[in-house]
Chain A
Amino acid sequence: MSNVESNLHSQTRWQKFRASNLGYSFLSNKVAMISMAVFVAIVVMAVFAPLIAPFDPYDPRQQDIMNSEMAPIWWAGPRDFTDPQFILGTDAQGRDLWSAILYGTRLSLMIGVCAVALQAFLGISIGLISGYVGGRTDSLLMRLADIQLSFSTLMVAIIFLAVTQALFGSEVFNRYAIFFLIAVIGVSEWPQYARTVRATVLAEKKKEYVDAAQVLGFGPIRIMVRHILPNSVSPIFVISTVQVANAIISEASLSFLGLGMPVSQPSLGSLISGGFEFIFSGSWWITTIPGVVLVVLVLVINLLGDWLRDVLNPKLYKG
């Protein structure tokens, strides 16, 4: 038993992280550290929203129309009312903005993450099959990916959701809006993953360890998932951060158009949308504060994504 080896085992996870390339770069990059701190803070607040929020924004009984359009407590305009109960003010229905933002962030994050999970699942499966099987299957799937990519996600999502809404009526649509959003954002961006994974598979497929695995009698699924896929973990990781940021923006845009989360169950996008008309009467906070939260959330994810790309430096598929 050598000394080095026992040292390795006695290290804590934190020490291992610090010693690693990723950890070193993280600890020497202020932007990455601040972004991570902000991101973790937002995620924690979103996850524990029911415990933190003073009001339940989904409960109409806790809303009083008399409390509508209260300004944030530090904003004492001549025509504005404030109430210490409502730190960030209230929206047009008299809903506490702070609680609504907490719940809204939670919804936005959840939709973003679930949509990207769906994208990753579809894209990775298709990429693996495309690269491993090759031939006609490969060219057909990649042609489909080209076509899918040539249509803007937002356009596809707007048309799909608009038609769905017209088809089912807004009552039913609003109830299942979250699933429609996840499905449409999740399905329309799979080629990003598929292309990257396929490129890895093509590069790895001819290597000896894959031959060895085949000789050992492992099935194709096992070889694809357990042996080849781990090679594309870092590009997948980088793509995922950017995709989560994009998915959150897409969700907000769709909700803003009235094709996403309803006002009774607002995400950040629907909060911004609900406050838009009040900007002309001077109630800027209803739109601006959720807007700032949305931008900060997306910005820190993008900054983390940029940092990850620089560190891991994977050969991303240039699309």
Chain B
Amino acid sequence: MFAYLVKRLFQAAAVMFAISIVAFAIQDNLGDPLRELVGQSVSEEVRQQLRDELGLNDSFIEQYLRFAGRAIQGDLGTSYFFKEPALDVILRKLPATLELVFGATVIIIGLSIPLGVYTAIKPNSIFSKVVMGVSIIGISIPVFLTAILLIFFFAVELRWLPSFGRGDPVHVFGYWETNFANWAGLRQILLPSIALSSIMLPLFIRLIRAEMLETLDSEYVKYAYAKGLQTRRIWFVHALKNTLLPVITVGGVQIGTMVAYTILTETVFQWPGMGFMFLEAVNRVDTPLIVAYLIVVGFIFVLTNTVVDLIYGLVNPTVNLSRMGA
């Protein structure tokens, strides 16, 4: 197990290294820091001198090492637009995105487990067929279209819920403001959360159903029936426990994936989170912010995947660690 842990951490470090190289290559080629610094009115000689002073004429490797050294200390450059450290900008936007992901996760967990289990234990009931039918339609609708349709019906036509923004989130501590503290905040976050959950929810229902069906067909469940255990106990204690194991691992990875979908949801709802900020940064060619976003998101992906892999190795003793490189 220890060897596996070390190998897995080494792999995570290697991936982060690759991401940082890509990020630096982008920074090196996108935009001109000198122009952002001094504008157009400085003579060519002064420019060259400044270039030398800033180390912009050094070799790629030298510049990369400087970049990596600063990045490890948490300095990812200064945003051209906000005129403050890029990491600070991102961290300020992070709570909004995390709350959105949290809201969507609550919806997904709250609905997918009961629905997935129900469709597995009562595969022929009409309700199960409706759920499966709706879930395949759900998979076929892109997130941004769900978001648009939600806005159209609930905000424009019915005027029940607000159509954009975060409203006035309640201040908690530091720069963390939450939408979960009062009714108005919940109203703001409801539609974006539903939109964000709409792509994962059908996938999870189908996944849980498939795993549950497989488990119900296994020998130990048949044995439990033969032993005369209560049906409910077999379903919810014996079968469900083993169903959820693969679901947890897939789910962990999907939390990383959801960060990608926040870009779409945040754009439609003008939610002031990281994703919305990233697209704005792209339009402004705010290179340090783009690079910082890339590194932060890459880190989130690597972190979730590593943790999920480690947990999986820990809770599932049947995992063949030697195959995974231990």
Contacts and interface: CB of A to CB of B under 8 A. Distances in A.
Interface string A126-169: 00000000000001000100010011101100110011011100
Interface in B251-277: 253, 256-257, 259-261, 263-264, 267-268
Given A253-B264, A280-B156, A299-B140, A163 B26 contact: yes
A152 B260 contact: yes
B15 interface: yes
* Consensus secondary structure, chain A interface: helix
A257 B263 CA distance: 9
Interface string A98-111: 00000000000000
A49 interface: no
B263 A158 contact: yes
Contacts of B301: 150-152, 155
A163 B28 CA distance: 12
A165 B152 CA distance: 30
Interface in A275-319: 276, 279-280, 284, 287-288, 291, 294-295, 298-299, 302-303, 306, 318
B141 A166 contact: no
Contacts of B29: 167
Interface string A163-199: 1011100000000000000000000000000000000
Contact of A150 (B144, B253, B278): B253
A46 interface: no
B147 to A, nearest CB: 10
A260 to B, nearest CB: 12
A291 B305 contact: no
A162 B282 contact: yes
Contacts of A155: 257, 259-260, 263, 297, 301
Contact of B137 (A158, A167, A299, A318): A299
A253 B265 CA distance: 11
A147 B4 CA distance: 16
A279 B156 contact: yes
Interface string B281-293: 0100101001000
Contacts, number: 107
B136 A257 contact: no
A228 interface: no
A135 B143 CA distance: 41
B148 A279 contact: yes
A226 to B, nearest CB: 30
B11 interface: yes
A154 B260 contact: yes
Contact of B136 (A163, A253, A302): A302
Contacts of A158: 260, 263
B15 to A, nearest CB: 6
Contact of A253 (B11, B144, B152, B297): B144
A291 B260 contact: no
Interface of B: 11, 15, 26, 29-31, 136-137, 139-145, 148-149, 151-152, 156, 163, 246, 253, 256-257, 259-261, 263-264, 267-268, 278-279, 282, 285, 287, 290, 294, 297, 301-302, 305, 325
18 contacts: A150-B253, A150-B301, A151-B256, A152-B256, A152-B301, A155-B257, A159-B294, A159-B297, A163-B26, A163-B30, A253-B143, A257-B267, A279-B152, A280-B156, A284-B152, A287-B148, A291-B149, A294-B145
- Give the 4 A-B CB pairs with smallest separation, nearest first: A155-B260, A299-B140, A152-B257, A298-B140
Interface of A: 139, 143, 147, 150-152, 154-155, 158-159, 162-163, 165-167, 245, 249, 252-253, 256-258, 269, 272, 276, 279-280, 284, 287-288, 291, 294-295, 298-299, 302-303, 306, 318
